[in-house]
């Protein structure tokens, strides 16, 4: 089953939108209700903007890069990034005590989907993740192997 493409698409979508949202929050170009911050430790949207930019933003983009580059830790990173997105939504619900009927279920569901797709990745998917038997040195990729 091909899961790499849908996984990376979701990670890039979430990561890109979170980076954009974080930048908009930091520059004051996103209209957000100040009342949402009443039950939080924040007085403005600066710290939440930085957190949005870095955690789901850069975090999902790095996880997508790991999957694309077939890094040996791509699978646990993808699972962690998806669960982190679910945790992000749960923290918002607890701290802000505001429920958005579209955003919260949608982003939470995408987080679950990313974690499940990450779980479905092969444990050692990629060149860097392959193990070799003792004493066997793989041939360089840029030269054809010789036959004896």
Whole-number pLDDT of residue 91: 94
- Residue 76 CB-density burial (10 A; 0-12 exposed, 13-18 middle, 19+ buried): middle
pLDDT of residue 2: 87
What percentage of the chain reaches a pLDDT higher than 90?
74
pLDDT, tens only, 83-112: 999 999 999 999 989 899 999 999 999 999
Residue with tokens 């992000």: 88
Q: Which residues contact 136 (CB under 8 A, 6 or more apart)?
A: none
Compute how many other C-beta atoms are within 10 angstroms of the C-beta atom of residue 7: 26
Cα distance between residue 52 and residue 43, in whole Å: 16
The share of the chain scoring above pLDDT 70, in percent, equals: 82
Domain ranges of the chain: 4-121
SS3 62: helix
Mean pLDDT of 30-55: 93
């Amino acid at each position: 089953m091909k899961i790499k493409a849908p996984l990376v698409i979701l990670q890039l979508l979430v990561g890109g939108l979170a980076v954009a949202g974080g930048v908009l929050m930091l520059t004051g170009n996103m209209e957000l209700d100040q009342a949402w911050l009443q039950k939080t430790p924040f007085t403005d949207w600066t710290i939440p903007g930085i957190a949005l930019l870095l955690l789901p933003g850069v975090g999902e983009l790095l996880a997508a890069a790991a999957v694309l580059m077939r890094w040996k830790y791509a699978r646990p990173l993808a699972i962690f990034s998806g669960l982190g997105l679910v945790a992000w939504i749960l923290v918002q619900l607890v701290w802000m005590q505001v429920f958005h009927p579209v955003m919260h279920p949608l982003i939470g569901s995408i987080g679950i989907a990313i974690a499940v797709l990450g779980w479905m990745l092969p444990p050692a998917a990629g060149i860097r993740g392959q193990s070799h038997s003792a004493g066997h040195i793989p041939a360089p990729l840029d030269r054809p192997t010789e036959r004896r």
